Chain A
């Protein structure tokens, strides 16, 4: 299957704290897991991704970890700032053969960073 479950649906933190969003996937053949940030009224923006041959990837204040055995991956944001407030979507890439493939998204997490 191509199910992606994302938790929590909402997350509120104080500026400077860390935020963690977790996703679980079902397609064991998936090998690519991006995270998108969507601000109000805008399209999703790719912020970080990870492939199945690594367990962790970091880019400044954001990091993603992947546990292929357990089929879950997480987004970590440290030293949060008010401009980090947005909806965050995880996704998995599933290849179904030929030109048949798709990104399946989680339901999103609304992150609010309070000043």
Chain B
């Protein structure tokens, strides 16, 4: 039944050690998003893929990268995590003809030691 799946649910990494978070979806939606949500804050859009077209938010640090090998999967790569990158990372999807209606996954909580 799960529609937007994120793995792992919890990830611990060391300062400066690259980490990859994954997202998959069974909705066959063309658009996939990555959000960062820090404690007690609203989700903040990092970037999104419109099919294969990558759209980066202007204030997303270069430390954050993304890959989308196919429609179903999208990855978030953090090249050199800092303590300030500890957060919940949320993946979301939407249809191209209904981009405003976004469906979120359960999130991956990242801890940086």
Residues of A with Cβ closer than 8 Å to B? 32, 34, 36, 41-46, 49, 89, 93, 99-103, 105-108
Top 7 nearest A-B pairs (CB, nearest first) are A105-B42, A43-B104, A93-B100, A99-B50, A32-B100, A43-B107, A43-B106
CB neighbours (8 Å) of B42 from chain A are 89, 105-108
A101 and B4 alpha carbons, distance in the complex (Å):
21
Partner of B104, one of A32, A45, A101, A108: A45
A59 and B5 alpha carbons, distance in the complex (Å):
27
Interface SS of B by simple majority: strand
B1-41 contacts to A, CB under 8 A, are: 4, 6, 40-41
Known contacts A32-B101, A105-B42; 8 further A-B pairs (Cβ under 8 A): A32-B100, A41-B107, A41-B109, A49-B101, A93-B99, A99-B53, A99-B55, A107-B42
A9 and B99 alpha carbons, distance in the complex (Å):
28
A36 and B90 alpha carbons, distance in the complex (Å):
13
- Is B111 located at the chain interface by the 8 A CB criterion? no
Residues of B with Cβ closer than 8 Å to A? 4, 6, 40-43, 45, 50, 53, 55, 57, 90, 92, 99-107, 109
- Is B105 within 8 A of A100, CB to CB? no
A49 and B99 alpha carbons, distance in the complex (Å):
13
CB contact under 8 A between A102 and B101, given known A89-B42, A107-B42: no
- Is A103 within 8 A of B55, CB to CB? no
Partner of A102, one of B4, B45, B103, B105: B45
- Is A46 within 8 A of B102, CB to CB? yes
A87 and B18 alpha carbons, distance in the complex (Å):
31
- Is B107 within 8 A of A42, CB to CB? yes
A22 and B42 alpha carbons, distance in the complex (Å):
15
- Is A101 within 8 A of B105, CB to CB? no
CB neighbours (8 Å) of A105 from chain B are 42-43
CB neighbours (8 Å) of A108 from chain B are 40-42
- Is B102 within 8 A of A103, CB to CB? yes
Q: Could you give 21 example pairs across A and B, Cβ below 8 Å? A: A34-B102, A36-B104, A41-B107, A41-B109, A42-B107, A43-B4, A43-B90, A43-B104, A43-B105, A43-B107, A46-B102, A89-B43, A93-B99, A100-B55, A101-B99, A102-B45, A102-B57, A103-B102, A107-B41, A107-B42, A108-B42
